[in-house]
Structure 1
């Protein structure tokens, strides 16, 4: 009969010296050495385990190496920012329409209500201050706001459709039949 202490020594000796490669752990099961990669490492435990990456160049072009893992760099974008694309392992961040600020820190809306806008851009639309008259009326037409509603009209001495085109009045000669 084999002594329990002797079995323990045989089991421990299976891992000394370790038959496992670098960055591995050796443990004994059924009197055999079992090699496993250490947490955070991967590969072949017999030849050695390594991190998923040590530098960005070991990751795909749309990823970056962070904490020895290949991950998307889009988490580098700031609060409320959009990750437009990834170039050279770095996120290209942009504040969305109607927001401003540093897209790598925080993007804030320009406005949340009309009262926050200046008089030359009095309306808050989709978080941006705008002039409701911009590109609303036709060529040569005037635009005046009634509250925040644009009202198009042809200027004095002009006629036409203020939503398409205003033209100068043309004097007509009256004929005898008129």
Structure 2
């Protein structure tokens, strides 16, 4: 069941799954009236959810996020002149709770959006420009360190060759001294 319908399309109020009462053959005389009363109460409940949905959206658009208390079982029941037990009746609890949870999710989303700071676009652009400059500086530093690293590797390679030659020379001198 979805809350996204306007007042004009609210004429399709009968929902077979929710509005059909089981037939009690002993009190068949009252069955028609019970069925009509049940259907009218379900119609009022659905209308109340549509009205609350529209009111919530209007408040959210005005940047005035209402309290969760607005969607409490007792507040919802009071708005249509019944009690919580009527809303929580076993035969209608599933769809009523589903509609209530949709409204709670809408309210929760609005609260999260309100709590997240909305930064000015110019501030964001200057921040992006600052990050670009910082990135370029880091690239330059990386290039400098890379050049230094290459120079150091060349020096290490040169020193290893010199060391190898000197070790060879020392080895040669040691072998000559042993011969004498």
Higher CA-based Rg: 2
More helix by share: 2
Normalising by the residue count of structure 2, what TM-score does the alignment of the two structures yield?
0.29
Q: Which has the higher contact order (CA 8 A, sep 6+)?
A: 2
| TM-score, L = length of structure 1 | 0.29
